[in-house]
């Protein structure tokens, strides 16, 4: 009831929608009631100034909320779609779906950049920076939809625009190497990229044994040994994935 009253208030306040909001509603496939939320969701921190920061702010808080909702909805979906799979499989598949590259691709497809508000000093020629901004913006939009219309609307948006375009069987059966899986896990959790360090190099050149350590979140998580550096890195990544999986299980049981 409270949400209905709030929506009625905003519908009356913004009865005269301008072309920008009409276009955004058509792009997202949602009805917007609280336009202030979406103004914030589309404002990059570089666009903030002393007058607006306290009143409107940027998308950062909504991004935080949207990231959590995206993860929860995708997790729920995978839990239902793969009833016989264990936690490790579901975690890996979720990381493949909600990775930053995927969010950026969806944001570009929705042309969210056309609606974003940037500050004058942001380098729009920096593709890596813009890709990061677009991924963040997609999550902030999900947060705004959730606050404006509820979990059903945000779930529908995620199912349509995130899950709808994914070939789930192919993604689930994709044969990735352990380094790729560890990289995806780090990206999904917004950790710094894994760092591989050659700890030892023993033996003559034709029979050399490499020992490689991998560091994740500032700690050594795995060690691998092999006759080539690449294989040793794969072994270290494999051990790191097992270690992080056990750590996650302990956190769930605590």
Report how far apart the first and last C-alpha atoms of the chain are (Å, whole number).
37
Element (H, E) at 211: strand 209-216
Contact partners, residue 102, CB within 8 Å, separation at least 6? 96, 162
Torsion of CA 20, 125, 56, 3, to 10 degrees: 50
Query: Could you give the CA distance from residue 165 to residue 227 in angstroms, rounded to a whole number?
Result: 41
Q: How far apart are CA 8 and CA 2, in angstroms?
A: 10
Give the span between the Cα atoms of 169 and 188, in whole angstroms. 20
To 10 degrees, what angle do helices 87-97 and 60-81 make?
130
Catalytically active residues, by annotation:
67, 139
Tokens of 65: 């909320």
113 to each of 83, 102, 124, 131, how far by Cα in Å? 38, 16, 10, 10
């Amino acid at each position: 009831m409270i949400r209905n009253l709030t929506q009625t208030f905003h519908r009356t306040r913004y009865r005269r929608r301008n072309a920008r909001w009409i276009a955004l509603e058509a792009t997202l496939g949602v009805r917007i009631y609280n336009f202030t939320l979406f103004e914030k969701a589309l404002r990059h921190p570089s666009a903030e100034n002393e007058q607006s920061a306290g009143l409107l702010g940027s998308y950062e808080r909504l991004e935080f909320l949207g990231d959590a909702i995206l993860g929860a909805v995708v997790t729920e979906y995978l839990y239902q779609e793969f009833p016989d799979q264990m936690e490790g499989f579901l975690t890996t598949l979720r990381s493949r779906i909600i990775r930053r590259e995927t969010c950026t691709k969806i944001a570009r497809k929705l042309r969210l950049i056309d609606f974003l508000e940037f500050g004058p000093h942001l380098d729009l020629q920096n593709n890596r920076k813009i890709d990061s901004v677009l991924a963040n913006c997609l999550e902030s939009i999900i947060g705004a939809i959730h606050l404006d219309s509820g979990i059903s609307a945000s779930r529908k948006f995620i199912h349509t625009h995130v899950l709808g375009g994914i070939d789930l069987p192919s993604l689930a059966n994709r044969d990735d190497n352990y380094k790729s899986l560890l990289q995806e896990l780090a990206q999904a959790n917004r950790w710094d990229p894994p760092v591989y360090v050659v700890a030892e190099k023993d033996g003559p050149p034709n029979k050399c044994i490499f020992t490689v350590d991998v560091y994740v979140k500032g700690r050594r998580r795995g060690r691998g040994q092999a006759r080539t550096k690449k294989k040793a890195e794969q072994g270290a990544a494999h051990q790191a994935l097992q270690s992080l999986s056990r750590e996650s299980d302990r956190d769930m049981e605590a």
